[in-house]
Structure 1
Amino acid sequence: MNKNKKRVVIVGAGMAGLTAAAYLARENYEVLLLDKNDRVGGLVGTFESKGFFFDSGPRAFVNSGIIQPMLRHLGIQWDFIKNTISIGIENDLFSIHSMDDLQEYRRVLIQLYPEHKTEIDQIIADIAQISEYTRVLYEFDNPNFVDFRKNRAFIFRKLIPWTFKFLHALVKLNQYNMPMEDFLKRRTSNQSLIDILIQHFFRKTPAHFALGYFYVYLDYFYPKGGTGVLSNLLKEKVLEWGGEIEVNKTIVEVVPSESKVIDSEGREYPYDDLIWAADLKTLYRILKRTGLDARTLEKVNVESQRKLSSRGAESVFILYLGVNRSPSFFRQHGGEHLFYTPSRQGLGATNHEERVRLIEEFDQLSKTEILAWLEKYLRLNTFEISVPVLRDPSLAPEGKTGLMVSCLFDYEIIKKVEQAGWYDEFKDFCETHIIQILSETIYKQMDEDVLFRFSSTPLTIQKISGSSEGAITGWSFETPPPVISSLRDIPASVLTPIPHIYQAGQWSYSPAGVPIAMLTGWYAAQNIIKQAKKK
């Protein structure tokens, strides 16, 4: 097959880079995909330890009308397993199978906070309304990846009417475009109730996103074999269509005036177009600006200042466990994907005033004081618990279970711990206390059956993925993001002020996840394809 003469270099072989590479390779472009790690997938991966399989990134995927139709569009077939979400607070657990289960959430909350029944009823009504608008957004597969020519009746009877509902939903959701903390404070003065509702979301997450997530829980799925299967399926398509992939390549300089990038070994990679599907701060730090015209340079400097002065969202601490207990035990205690909060008290000041003080005064505090805060932070937090073997029995030895237990955590704290020289002690403390908390609550005496344990921190994520502040979903919500954040403007999110350079991935749009990363990869590829057709 003859190659298109245009050469496209893509930096970053995460989900955005792989998607862009697959679509361009299918169109016969000369595609080279580069990544700093020894494998593709970025944060999305599945690995094996002592016969147990764990997911290194997302615990499951939200389809969002994007991922599965995009895979079909690329001719990729695989078995996808339904992923049921459960919510647990203290001794109350329930699973989400439909929006009817929102009433079960109401029951649990009223049981925990009976004096706030009226406020809870209003909040549940808000969740139901926002979830309905969210449902409209997900009602159909993204039209970019569906061939409607074979079903014109569908276009006129369903798709066009839905388009008007979609635009109406966007308008309505925009009315909830405020930090969820602020929104909930209008509904209740009970800080514990507010915390229980939102402390597993990133700080200042927009209310329309967080409170609409009850419906999103119904959209989760899991690839048979683990989440890492998805990146490997895309990799196979890139190679099948003639694309090239090189790993262990760290790009240290981007020279747009000469249309090339340079790696840490001095090797140069020329391009006609470049897609930067990696950390955006890194792009602007290593960008060589000599040779750019004055107008372009001014725009680049403005964008550079915006990106470099912004921060990534909180990261996560992840505990990996091998447990000598049957999967059936964990099926009965929350299932395959559980958001569990051990205490109705909520984080409160522990995650606000005390956390800020700890970061600001870290060097003046004793290790005992820091660990006392950490113990309380863990005991009052919300954990996301994933059990891969409950989705796919081949992901753990027979009769045993692997768990991933994670909670949000600040990069600044763990960085200060590392600089203070007790990083390993910190990790051991977190591992021990999380196991203890779960063994006292939802998984009674589990500590007696732990076969092995290890963990990763925001520093692990930063070192592996190169992601600023170890962020797993791009920019922080605590300040205005330096990228596009409107659904209507997603197509423009891939544009940069640098000639022939596009951006894609979690840093190019906010809020971001795997569906948005893949969609931006597709948009970046389509821009290149359209520009070529104009010539």
Structure 2
Amino acid sequence: MNKDKKQVVIVGAGMAGLTAAAYLARGNYDILLLDKNARVGGLVGTFENKGVFFDSGPRAFVNSGIIQPMLKDLGIQWEFIKNTISIGIEDHLFGIHSIDDLQEYRQILIQLFPQNKEEIDQIIADVAQVAEYTRVLYEFDNPNFINLKNNKAFIFRRFIPWTFKFLHALVKLNPYNMPMEDFLKRRTSNQSLIDILIQHFFRKTPAHFALGYFYVYLDYFYPKGGTGVLSNLLKEKVLEWGGEIGVNKTIVEVVPTESKVIDSEGREHSYDNLIWAADLKTLYRILNRTGLDAKTLEKVNVESQRKLSSRGAESVFILYLGVNRPPSFFRLHGGEHLFYTPSRQGLGTMNHKERVRLIEEFDQLSKTEILAWLEKYLRLNTFEISVPALRDPALAPEGQTGVMMSCLFDYQIIKKAEESGWYDEFKAFCENCMIQILSETLYKQINQDILFKFSATPLTIQKISGSSEGAITGWSFETPLPVFSTLQDIPKSVLTPISNIYQAGQWAYSPAGVPIAMLTGWYAAQNIMKKTKKR
């Protein structure tokens, strides 16, 4: 590394690490970005199988006033495609093109649950209200990435009035700061209705987040070429500005008193500042605390206990299909990005009591009992279905289509199957059951047109990303969060007890998706730049 520049080592080349690296490299810092995998991007990637392209992580991106202005700020240009979200329950399907489509959702829910019309009306009113507050939050691009200095008219006529509306919206959202399950139980006693509304969200998701998502659906976009294009665009900028990227580098020890990290090959990498943009539990497991002063050591031990005693949110089971049907068929049956629930019954007690019992008693249950539970769980669940070729036709051969179908899934269950020695059988059962569900409901007889199939489980995600419990969005909401979780605290979320070590990514703040991961990467970089400028 160039000793004339400030040395920054960044561990984890996901979206947070890449963002931090790009900004620091542009600022003429000496950057070394390390990742345990053979490619950058972490959970965000696009890959090819027999001419069909699939996305390995998010099916599309929510802009959140962050991603696109940040890319523009970095001088990154690309074609972004509108990503329309659809919702389907049994044979009822509709696309979300504007907030007005909330009324169609209302009509469908009333058709499914006519006895709960008044309760549905109240819930839809709640959704509309929180969606409006969410619209205010997203009305302008994040001020960090827009130039306000040369546009005084905009500042005084629009931006300052919006700031007051933004603060007002934050206050109004406070009453919704409770688990979505608890909020809905105040509105209705119909558990099936509650399930239909929430079972595609992580358990105990805050109500202000889940209720506002009807507006968030309008903010989705898809990069031409697949989601993995985004990580590659950031990688190119890091390299263009002189940053160094090292892949297949697993960090096994962090030694803060010597300002160095050590990889699995025994190589030492020195730093002036370190950004940890990887799994946060791993950082505290491998942190060498020898020589830390008493005050710092106490803070490190407290944070270590908080992180290591918490757990990641539910993971996902993902089925990948190559199908001998043209994209036009899928356009008529839900479109490019669909949240689909095959049965109005909902998961009910399977989403908590029976699931917990299964995990606790897995070793005592027969394989037949476990598979019977699993089939019921899949048939009553909600699936996220994505069809990349409907955004970009180049992502599948003519006349063929790639389909991804996923649902929330507990890491502990699939881990139990692996420990019992029938992981492959368990996985194959899930694949076949999900195909059968599609064949009976949304995509009639699709099982006759499958060209190939494979799947990824929470164990796959853990292996590839190094993410604890195979989590895809950081911490579980079912236990107290060990990180900041309010918008105004995002700038502080990147700080650690050690002054020259910063944290970024999905584990640094909750709830976290790609926009927040990138934003924490930016904040970590800003902290380093501000600190070094003061010297």
Q: Please give the range of the TM-score, normalised by the shorter of the 2 chains.
A: over 0.9
What SS is found at the alignment partner of 1:405? strand
Partner Cα separation in structure 2 for residue 329 and residue 174 of structure 1: 43
Q: Distance in 2 between matches of 1:222 and 1:344?
A: 30
Q: Matches of 2:160 and 2:478 in 1, distance apart?
A: 37
Q: The residue matched to 2:511 in structure 1 has which SS?
A: coil
C-alpha contact 1:336 1:386 (8 A) present in aligned 2: yes
The one-letter code sitting in structure 1 at the alignment partner of 2:342 is P
Q: Which amino acid aligns with 1:484?
A: F
**1:274 Cα deviation after fit:** 0.1
Matching residue of 1:224: 224
Shift of 1:149: 1.9
Give 1:94-493 correspondences, 5 Å limit: 94-493=94-493
Change (3 A) 1:3 1:69: farther
SS in 1 for 2:178: coil
Indicate the SS of the match to 2:345: coil
1:289 and 1:347 map into 2 onto residues whose CA distance is: 45
- 3-state secondary structure, aligned to 2:292: coil
Cα deviations across residues 74-117 of structure 1 (Å, max 9, x unaligned)? 00000000000000000000000000000000000000000000
Spell out, residue by residue over 1:435-476, the C-alpha distance to the aligned partner (whole angstroms, 9 max, x if none): 000100010000000000000000000000000000000000
1:314-337, Cα deviation, whole Å (9 max, x unpaired): 000000000000110000000000
Q: In the alignment, residue 214 of structure 2 is paired with which amino acid? A: F
Match in the other structure for 2:91? 91
**Helix, strand or coil at the partner of 2:394:** helix
The offset of 1:498, in angstroms, is 1.3
Once the two structures are TM-superposed, the CA of residue 172 in structure 1 deviates from its matched residue by 1.0
Equivalent-residue separation in structure 1 for 2:174 and 2:482 (angstroms)? 19
Distance 1:19 1:4 in 2: 23
Query: Hey, what's the Cα distance between the residues in 1 that align with 2:460 and 2:117?
Result: 43
Query: C-alpha deviations, 1:191-227, integer Å up to 9, x for none?
Result: 0000000000000000000111000000000000000
Contact 1:96 1:217 in 2 (8 A): yes
Q: Paired residue for 2:533?
A: 533
Q: Match for residue 511 of structure 1?
A: 511
Aligned mates of 1:475, 1:109 — CA distance in 2: 31
Aligned-residue Cα RMSD (Å) equals: 0.7
Alignment pair present for 1:71 and 2:63: no
1:40 and 2:40 matched: yes
Residues 131-152 of structure 1 show CA distances to partners (whole Å, capped at 9, x for unaligned) of 0000011000000000112211
Deviations 1:332-376 (A, max 9, x none): 000000000000000001112111110111111001000000000
How many residues of Structure 1 are paired with residues of Structure 2 in the alignment?
534
Aligned counterparts of 2:6 and 2:442: Cα–Cα separation in 1:
57
Corresponding residue of 2:497: 497
Q: Distance in 2 between matches of 1:10 and 1:305?
A: 24
Contact 1:4 1:28 in 2 (8 A): no
Distance in 2, matches of 1:426 and 1:211, equals 34
Contact 1:20/1:521, CA 8 A, preserved across alignment: yes
Residue segments in structure 2 that go unaligned for 5+ positions in a row: none
Please name the residue that 1:60 is paired with. Answer: 60
Identity value in percent: 86
Partner of 1:81: 81
Q: Distance in 2 between the 1:368 and 1:42 partners?
A: 36
1:520 aligns to what?
Answer: 520
**How many Å separate the matches in 1 of 2:150 and 2:400?**
48
